[in-house]
Amino acid sequence: MKCLELEKKRILVTGGAGFLGNQVIEQLCKAGANREKITVPRSRECDLRVMENCKQAADQRDIIIHLAAHVGGIGLNREKPAELFYDNLMMGTQLIHAAYEAGVEKFVCVGTICAYPKFTPVPFKEDNLWNGYPEETNAPYGIAKKALLVQLEAYRQQYDFNGIYLLPVNLYGPEDNFNPKSSHVIPALIRKVHEAQMSGVTRIPVWGDGSPTREFLYSEDAARGIVMGTQYYNESDPVNLGTGYEISIRDLIDLICELMEFEGEIVWETDKPNGQPRRCLDTQKAKQAFGFTAQVDFKQGLKNTVEWYRQNAPQLVA
């Protein structure tokens, strides 16, 4: 398996200041990249929805890892579907084109599990990505990100542009987004339990009926998988990054309550959406293609995330 040596590469990591981005930069450095050659554009100075900014960002780069996304949980997907579609499509498609024009050696696009059809046979195999429409609440986001896979495949076919597309499952870990307006399920539940404990509340509302299942990948594992893909994978076919471990939302909240020693009641709000019924990935392709397997045990990863939140909760704004 030929390795892309990173030491002399000029690397752009969009979203590099975020939850996953920080981990990706750490893993890049562990794999030999020079931190001084890694550039992280910040959205307030470099809005990637503007083509000129994409051109400037891509100029004189050898590798681009595109993590930047406008993303959130079910609540944000219901509230701002148009923004999620437009922002993610424009950022990605313009940056890919700018990278091609700038002669970038490799483009690593991080997609989303939301791109899979609503009723995908479990475990999700990459071959099933186009076998139906995504779950309705996150379809605008999922389709915008999936369009980038089509673009990369087209640019490889016509221009021989080396772009790869990785599909990490739901991420979690320290430094996650705990804002209740835009957070995903794990940080949202951890925050709910913590705030209930702080205020003496004994009942916690949770959306849905608890029956959907999810798979979660610790951020450090995801970052390691992205860097391994960057170094060793050079094909157009998408690749799942996950653990293969599936847990129901009901069991998830029970585990969080156990770890946080919360003994109150969970109130299921069955008038709220469940989201996709099941999510669990087939992870064999990543193992075969570039040797990636997840290493962090889910309960340990969850414990690390709870501890980080408790230590940092006072500094986190709403």
Q: Catalytic residue numbers?
A: 141
184 assigned ligand-binding residue: yes
32 assigned ligand-binding residue: no
145 assigned ligand-binding residue: yes
3-state secondary structure the chain: CCCCCCCCCCEEEECCCCHHHHHHHHHHHHCCCCHHHEECCCCCCCCCCCHHHHHHHHCCCCEEEECCCCCCCHHHHHHCHHHHHHHHHHHHHHHHHHHHHCCCCEEEEECCHHHCECCCCCCECHHHCCCCCECHHHHHHHHHHHHHHHHHHHHHHHHCCCEEEEEECEEECCCCCCCCCCCCHHHHHHHHHHHHHHHCCCEEEEECCCCCEECEEEHHHHHHHHHHHHHHCCCCCCEEECCCCCEEHHHHHHHHHHHHCCCCEEEEECCCCCCCCCCCECCHHHHHHHCCCCCCCHHHHHHHHHHHHHHHHHHCCC
170 assigned ligand-binding residue: yes
200 assigned ligand-binding residue: no
95 assigned ligand-binding residue: no
15 assigned ligand-binding residue: yes
242 assigned ligand-binding residue: no
70 assigned ligand-binding residue: no
97 assigned ligand-binding residue: no
241 assigned ligand-binding residue: no
21 assigned ligand-binding residue: yes
Q: Binding-site residues, please?
A: 15-21, 145, 168-171, 184, 192, 207, 214
Q: Binding-site residues for substrate, please?
A: 192, 207, 214
Q: Binding-site residues for NADP(+), please?
A: 15-21, 145, 168-171, 184
